[in-house]
């Protein structure tokens, strides 16, 4: 019964460690990505649960928007336009809820399939690891964007309340979408790295929470450490001049406490909320007799941008503040959001790369306590 | 073959027996556990090869290496002439793998599952539709084609898994305990299907614990124990047969006369009965029948006590772990 005669085959010289060809790892075809994305969407998304989630989202965002608009129209009665405030509130609401929902879309994408025993059968097909990872990422991103698209009506409502440039809606939607794809990438990376789905979900949430909450906390905590006493140029009343309309100002040097936030501003710069606020492109903050216009996005933008140049000349010439020579008045006003967005996207890309490498077969090492099949 | 893998650079194998599966000195450890220990194996095209061994002997691990999912620590592997490690895609395009435990996607129907895999193997949609219908009929799931795969019974899922492994008409089939959970009818169907696939020139490697069943379908057998391939001593040499006759007295009398070492079976000397007899292979059995009939012994049946595989298996010294 057992008949084992050697089969004539040119036998290669056996190297100690077989060389793994990663030639096919990064190959990507539209067909392959679409196959995986379709599968993911069908599998995770096309269910009643998903419809319910969308409806709940719409109701929650819509409800909160309504409440806000009611509240604002009462509170702001007669004090100018509540449009920018409303717009900022809806943007932050959408971003916040988006950051809450999105991690769950990919944080079990790889280890969940592995536990369910469906990953290995997909890996042995001709799909490349990059196609599998990209397909999963695309499906999750599409799902996240569905939530975003459902929120657009409320952004438009805020737009109609005035004082927000229409193009801000487009900018906000694009930037939020890119932030969400970063979160998808981070989740994908953790799901490939950690064998338990609960673990990868928690890690993804922690990472998002770190970006959102930890960065301002760290900024605050490090604030005192970047403060120091130093000589500062002050534009103030020259000796002998009187306070009042005809105040005469000149440069003097004083010892003041200066916070060198140019060392730590980037902590805020990578915060998703700051990225969106900075990139939204709402109008300039107008300072007039009633105070500053209530535009949270613009205020955050101006605030964080000014942190980069803390040792601007201290202008103490209160009654004639315009007298300061112009080139001393202006700080660095270039946009922050491209850098912040790039940092977020880099995190997402890192997660994606990890996922592709972990999906590559044949594998040499397995996570402790897992089997391939 | 309906797969269209860009592989024109690979020269067709030279004349001679098609390669099938060749494993040379493959080892694989998981931490301290040596799952495969310099194993050698050959499975020839056009034949069904049984992979037999106790629990934890490394059968699944070997199939994972062959399927291109695990890197062996040492040794070389050829599947349909390709190295699954160095040339994964080419090998995987020709390999159909059915794991012993696998899941299905909850919300997809059986047909969608198969169509997805066809797409994953880059089979054009039109071809895939025909192929999937064909496969659903082959594994008798056409009734369930449009129901969610998650509600299929265990045996039905197993059959869907088999169809899944066949979707790209692979040259080499790796089946890990394919018969578990199948009803008797489906087992027969499986046997016929595998025979048909082998007759088409494909290489079929089946692992199973149901030896009587393997016996009926396998052409070759490879025994594996503690990660090594072992050659059982007694295979195709002497085995125990059950010899039954209308008259036990006549049978035992004749056997004693010719000097055969028989052991009592059942029955009384006056009536019908049987004895146990060591016979060397099928030729020995044929010889026995010829001689007994010539001597006028009223033989009614002659059958091996246990399958040859089972006997060989039991002679293995190695224990299960
Ligand atoms: N991922 C893994 N990590 C650690 N040990 C493993 C892993 N996979 C397999 N093993 C060990 O390797 C050995 C061989 O396992 P394998 O699954 O190949 O056995 P098998 O022959 O398929 O057994 P069975 O007949 O029960 O299916 C076992 O001792 C098992 O515990
Ligand atoms: Mg096994």
- Same structural domain, B138 and B98: yes
Q: State whether the beta carbon of B274 lies less than 6 angstroms from ligand 1.
A: no
Pocket test for ligand 1, best of A361, A367, A371, A373 (most atoms within 8 A of CB): A371
- Same structural domain, B77 and B178: yes
pLDDT at position A6 over 80 = no
Residue of A nearest to B309 (CA): A1
B:243-302 residues touching chain A, CB 8 A cutoff = none
Q: Which of A11, A20, A31 has the CB atom closest to B24's CB atom? A: A11
- Same structural domain, B219 and B300: no
pLDDT at position B140 over 50 = yes
Task: Choose the final residue of a domain: B211, B230, B249.
Answer: B230
Say if the Cβ atoms of A121 and B164 lie within 8 Å: yes
**What tens digit of pLDDT does each residue of A57-75 get?**
999 999 988 888 888 777 6
pLDDT at position B6 over 60 = no
Question: Count of CB contacts below 8 A, A vs B?
Answer: 155
pLDDT at position A132 over 90 = yes
Number of domains, chain B: 2
Three-class SS of residue B89? helix
- The residue whose CA has the least distance to atom 19 of ligand 1 is B56
Distance (Å) from CA B57 to ligand 1 centroid: 7
> Which residues pair with residue B39 across a beta bridge?
B26
- The pLDDT assigned to B7 comes to 39
- Same structural domain, B143 and B212: yes
User: Which range, of A210-224, A281-295, B23-37, averages the lowest pLDDT?
Assistant: A281-295
What atom in ligand 1 is closest to the CA of residue B34?
A: 12
pLDDT at position B291 over 60 = yes
- Here the CATH number for the domain that contains residue B282 is 3.30.70
- Same structural domain, B156 and B207: yes
- Same structural domain, B35 and B12: yes
**What tens digit of pLDDT does each residue of B77-136 get?**
999 999 999 888 999 999 999 998 778 887 889 999 999 999 999 999 999 999 999 999
pLDDT at position B243 over 80 = yes
Distance (Å) from CA B204 to ligand 2 centroid: 17
- The pLDDT assigned to B134 comes to 94
**What tens digit of pLDDT does each residue of A27-43 get?**
888 999 999 999 999 88
**What tens digit of pLDDT does each residue of B41-53 get?**
999 999 999 999 8
- Same structural domain, B48 and B188: yes
- Same structural domain, B155 and B247: no
Q: Which class for A326: exposed (0-12), middle (13-18), buried (19 or more C-beta within 10 A)?
A: exposed
- Same structural domain, B298 and B206: no
Predicted structure pTM score = 0.84
Domain that holds residue B157: 6-230
Higher pLDDT among residues A244 and A300, named by residue: A300
3-state secondary structure chain A: CCCCCCCCCCCCCCCCCCCCCCCCCCCCCHHHHHHHHHHHHHHHHCCHHHHHHHHHHHHHHHHHHHHHHHHHHHHCCCCCCCHHHHHHHHHHHHHHHHHHHHHHHHCCHHHHHHHHCCHHHHHCCCCCHHHHHHHHHHHHHHHHHHHHHHHHHHHHHHHHCCCCCCHHHHHHHHHHHHHHHHHHHHHHHHHHHCCCHHHHHHHHHHHHHHHHHHHHHHHHHCCHHHEEEEEEEEEEECCCCCCCCCCCEEEEEEEEEEECHHHCHHHHHCCHHHHHHHHCCCCCCCEECCEECCCHHHHHHHHHHHHCCCCCCEECCHHHHHHCCHHHHCCCCCCCHHHHHHHHHHHHHHHHHHHHHHHCCCECCCCCCCCCC
What atom in ligand 1 is closest to the CA of residue B54?
A: 25
Q: CB contact, 8 Å: A363 with chain B? A: yes
Compute the nearest-CA separation of B259 from chain A (Å): 28
- Same structural domain, B181 and B245: no
Q: Which class for A15: exposed (0-12), middle (13-18), buried (19 or more C-beta within 10 A)?
A: exposed
**What tens digit of pLDDT does each residue of B125-139 get?**
999 999 999 999 999
> Of A178-182, A238-242, B55-59, which one has max mean pLDDT?
A178-182
- Same structural domain, B212 and B266: no
- The pLDDT assigned to A70 comes to 81
- Same structural domain, B103 and B22: yes
Query: At A253, is the pLDDT very low, low, confident or very high (cuts 50, 70, 90)?
Result: confident
Task: Choose the final residue of a domain: B200, B230, B260.
Answer: B230
- Here the CATH number for the domain that contains residue B180 is 3.40.50.300
Q: State whether the beta carbon of B53 lies less than 6 angstroms from ligand 1.
A: yes
A230-234 mean pLDDT: 80
pLDDT at position A12 over 50 = no
Q: CB contact, 8 Å: A127 with chain B? A: yes
Residue B1 lies in a domain: no
Say if the Cβ atoms of A31 and B122 lie within 8 Å: yes
Distance (Å) from CA A155 to ligand 2 centroid: 56
- The pLDDT assigned to A365 comes to 81
State chain A's mean pLDDT as an integer.
83
- The pLDDT assigned to B234 comes to 44
Task: Choose the final residue of a domain: B230, B255, B276.
Answer: B230
């Amino acid at each position: 019964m057992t008949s084992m005669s050697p089969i004539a085959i040119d036998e290669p010289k056996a190297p100690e460690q077989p060389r793994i060809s990663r030639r096919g790892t990064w190959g990507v075809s539209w067909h392959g990505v679409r196959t995986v994305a379709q599968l993911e969407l069908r599998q995770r998304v096309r269910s009643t649960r998903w419809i319910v989630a969308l409806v709940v989202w719409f109701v929650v965002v819509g409800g909160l928007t309504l409440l806000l608009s009611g509240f604002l129209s009462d509170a702001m009665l007669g004090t100018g336009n509540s449009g920018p405030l409303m717009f900022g509130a809806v943007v932050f609401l959408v971003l916040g809820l988006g950051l809450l929902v999105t991690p769950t879309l990919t944080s079990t994408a790889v280890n969940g399939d592995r536990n369910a025993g469906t990953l290995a059968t997909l890996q042995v097909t001709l799909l490349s690891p990059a196609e599998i990872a990209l397909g999963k990422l695309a499906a999750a991103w599409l799902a996240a964007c569905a939530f975003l698209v459902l929120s657009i009506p409320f952004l438009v409502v805020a737009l109609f309340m005035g004082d927000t440039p229409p193009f801000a809606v487009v900018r906000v939607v694009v930037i939020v979408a890119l932030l969400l794809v970063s979160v998808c990438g981070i989740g994908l990376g953790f799901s490939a790295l950690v064998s338990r789905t609960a673990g990868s979900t928690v890690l993804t949430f922690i990472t998002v929470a770190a970006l959102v909450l930890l960065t301002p906390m760290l900024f605050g905590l490090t604030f005192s450490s970047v403060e120091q006493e130093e000589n500062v140029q002050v534009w103030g009343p020259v000796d002998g001049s009187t306070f009042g309309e005809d105040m005469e100002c000149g440069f003097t040097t004083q010892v003041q406490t200066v916070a060198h936030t140019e060392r730590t501003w980037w902590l805020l710069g990578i915060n998703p909320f700051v990225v969106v606020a900075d990139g939204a492109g709402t109008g300039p903050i107008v300072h007039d007799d009633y105070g500053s216009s209530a535009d949270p996005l613009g205020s955050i933008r101006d605030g964080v941008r000014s942190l980069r140049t803390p040792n601007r000349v201290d202008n103490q010439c209160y009654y004639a503040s315009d007298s300061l020579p112009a080139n001393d008045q202006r700080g660095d006003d270039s946009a922050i959001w491209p850098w912040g967005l790039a940092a977020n996207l880099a995190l997402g890309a890192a997660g994606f790369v990890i996922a592709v490498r972990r999906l590559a077969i044949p594998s040499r090492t397995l996570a402790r306590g897992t089997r391939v099949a | 073959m309906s797969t269209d893998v860009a592989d024109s650079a690979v020269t067709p194998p030279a004349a001679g027996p098609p390669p099938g599966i060749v494993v040379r000195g493959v080892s694989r450890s998981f931490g301290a556990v040596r799952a495969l220990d310099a194993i050698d194996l050959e499975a020839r095209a056009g034949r069904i090869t049984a992979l037999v061994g106790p629990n934890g002997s490394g059968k699944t691990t070997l199939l994972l290496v062959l399927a291109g999912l695990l890197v062996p620590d040492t040794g070389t592997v050829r599947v349909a002439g390709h190295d699954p490690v160095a040339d994964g895609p080419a090998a995987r395009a020709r390999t159909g793998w059915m794991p012993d435990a696998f899941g299905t996607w909850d919300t997809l129907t059986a047909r969608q599952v198969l169509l997805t895999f066809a797409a994953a193997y880059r089979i054009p949609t039109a071809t895939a539709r025909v192929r999937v219908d064909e496969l659903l009929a082959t594994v008798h799931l056409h009734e369930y084609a449009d129901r969610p795969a998650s509600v299929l019974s265990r045996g039905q899922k197993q059959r869907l898994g088999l169809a899944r492994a066949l979707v790209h008409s692979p040259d080499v089939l790796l089946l890990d305990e394919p018969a578990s959970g199948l009803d008797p009818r489906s087992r027969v169907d499986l046997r016929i299907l595998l025979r048909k696939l082998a007759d088409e020139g494909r290489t079929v490697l089946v692992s199973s614990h149901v030896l009587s069943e393997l016996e009926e379908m396998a052409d070759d057998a490879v025994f594996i124990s503690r990660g090594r391939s072992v050659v059982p001593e007694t295979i195709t040499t002497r085995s125990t047969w059950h010899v039954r006759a209308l008259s036990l007295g006549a049978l035992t009398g004749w056997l004693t006369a010719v000097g055969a070492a028989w052991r009592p079976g059942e029955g009384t000397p006056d009536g019908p009965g049987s004895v146990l007899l060591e016979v060397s292979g099928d030729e020995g059995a044929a010889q026995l029948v010829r001689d007994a009939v010539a001597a006028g012994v009223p033989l009614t049946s002659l059958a091996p006590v246990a399958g040859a595989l089972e006997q060989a298996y039991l002679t293995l010294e190695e224990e299960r772990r």
